[in-house]
Chain A
Amino acid sequence: MSSPVKRVIALPGDLIVIDKNISIEGTNLYKLSENTYIVTTISIQDYEEGEKKRIRVVSLKGRYIPKEGDVVIGIIIDVTLSYWLADIKSPYPAILNASDYLGKSFNPALENIRKYLDIGDVIIAKVAQFDRSRLPTLTVQDKGLGKVIGGSLVEIEPSKVGRVIGRKKSMISMLTEQTKCEFVVGINGRILLRCPNSDLEYIAILAIKKIEEEAHIIGLTERIKEFIINEKVKRGLIRYETE
């Protein structure tokens, strides 16, 4: 178990003053002076006591900004002769080159790439490159990446993806075990589910939405587990908790 945590909601304009015994981290902090930081978005602020005092500030809201190496779920919104444009819920659409998708060079004069991926198709991809001066590019050249055939898509706040996965994947393992669904979590706030039946799928979606709403609560995994079990009992899927 880690050190005790004190958690508060931090808001834009909140000033955090630290001394040299405290370390601070967070992507949404603006350094005002040597020891003063400004919180810039609605966030949870954790203060960890113990040997090493630590403040962690995590955004509760905000658009997804691509980062190299992120696995994202995209929707094809445009097709050109040699690449696709995908919506990845960021301010910038992403490019997927046909040569990357096919894993070889190809001749646009001979082939129409629409037959591989068309508008509305869903892909799991990795951000290959992004420096904010050009559109991000994607790659599907890795295990588990590529076109999505079936399943259900749920959208959540990208900033809350971390909670759906949980510390050391605790939340997502619990979700998988309890709902028997298969989850692919895109860092950009899209989650793909493949479930054994529609009742379990519905419960899984409700659970994800609940995690999104209650992302700031401590002890969330247990709380969500209880919720899923209750829902299963309500729907007659199980009589009582068997474990």
Chain B
Amino acid sequence: MRQSKPQLIINGKRIDGREPQDLRQIKMEVGILKNADGSALVEIGGTKVLAAVYGPREVVPRHQEQVDRAIIRCRYRMLSFSTLGERKSPAPTRREIELSKVIREALEPAILSTQFPRAAIDVFVEVINAEGGTRTAGITAASLALADAGIPMLDLVAAVAVGKIDGVIVLDLNEVEDMYGEADMPVAAMPSLKRVTMLQLNGVLTPDEFKKAFALALEGINKIYQFQKEVLRKKYVEVEE
């Protein structure tokens, strides 16, 4: 149900009180599942995403295997009660199928998959609560889960969306901003190598606005990346009483 557009910027601030360049509050946890080889939970604002990784493991069915590298398989999925409004049917939507591919391709450049020919690495992203930015939180969580599984990567992948709302370029859109804003641009990158692994734009930006938005996204990605590293490091230092 699309209601009339609310005012998104009031006195320079956003509806949740943030400045344009602010991220929402972030919480990350690693290694929360026993069975999965790697797992992570990422919360950003009201968005909560679980990622689990299995592998490298044998490829079933066999015909999918590739002789010179591991295949990466990824499924992004929203739990039936994760969105506002009606219950979502469990059957995969076109959106979920596209995002599964986009997330996989955001991770592929980081994973050293040629080290495991004929094997598979499976990535499962489950959205528990959706309030904007589920694909980017999914990528951030999946890359933590891959690290937790010990899968060799050139870098962690961190992701965030930028956008334009009421004419202002802002970082990390929430649900309402995403719905009523003029543009929404999710970006993923490997920060230490400065490689961009996902870029999508839904909306309209001038070339200048794009430049500004892109720079803001990379700044946000850097902060999320620092957060990822801190969480991974803490997991091992904690033991040292």
**Chain A residues within CB distance 8 Å of chain B:** 9, 11-15, 28, 30, 38, 40-42, 59-63, 65, 91-93, 132-133, 157, 159, 213-214, 216-217
Q: Is B72 an interface residue (CB 8 A)?
A: no
When the two chains form their complex, are residues A63 and B236 in contact, meaning their CB atoms are under 8 A apart?
A: no
Cα A157 to Cα B70 in complex, Å, equals 21
**Chain B residues within CB distance 8 Å of chain A:** 37-38, 55-58, 67, 70, 110, 112, 115-119, 147-156, 190-193, 225, 229, 232-233, 236-237, 239-240
Contacts A92-B58, A214-B239 given; indicate if A41 touches B193 (C-beta within 8 A). Answer: no
When the two chains form their complex, are residues A60 and B119 in contact, meaning their CB atoms are under 8 A apart?
A: no
Known A9-B232, A13-B154, A157-B150; further 15 A-B contacts with Cβ < 8 A: A9-B233, A9-B236, A12-B147, A12-B155, A13-B156, A13-B229, A30-B112, A38-B193, A60-B236, A61-B150, A62-B151, A63-B150, A93-B58, A132-B117, A214-B240
When the two chains form their complex, are residues B116 and A11 in contact, meaning their CB atoms are under 8 A apart?
A: no
- Selected from B119, B154, B240, the residue in CB contact (under 8 A) with A92 is B119
Cα A141 to Cα B119 in complex, Å, equals 29
Contacts A13-B191, A91-B55 given; indicate if A133 touches B237 (C-beta within 8 A). Answer: no
Contacts A41-B152, A59-B150 given; indicate if A14 touches B192 (C-beta within 8 A). Answer: yes
Residues from chain B with Cβ under 8 Å of A14 in the complex:
192
Jot down 29 A-B pairs with beta carbons below 8 A, ordered by A. A9-B232, A9-B236, A11-B233, A12-B155, A13-B153, A13-B190, A13-B192, A13-B193, A13-B225, A30-B152, A30-B154, A38-B154, A38-B155, A60-B150, A62-B150, A62-B151, A63-B37, A63-B55, A91-B57, A91-B70, A91-B116, A92-B58, A92-B119, A132-B118, A133-B117, A159-B150, A216-B239, A216-B240, A217-B240
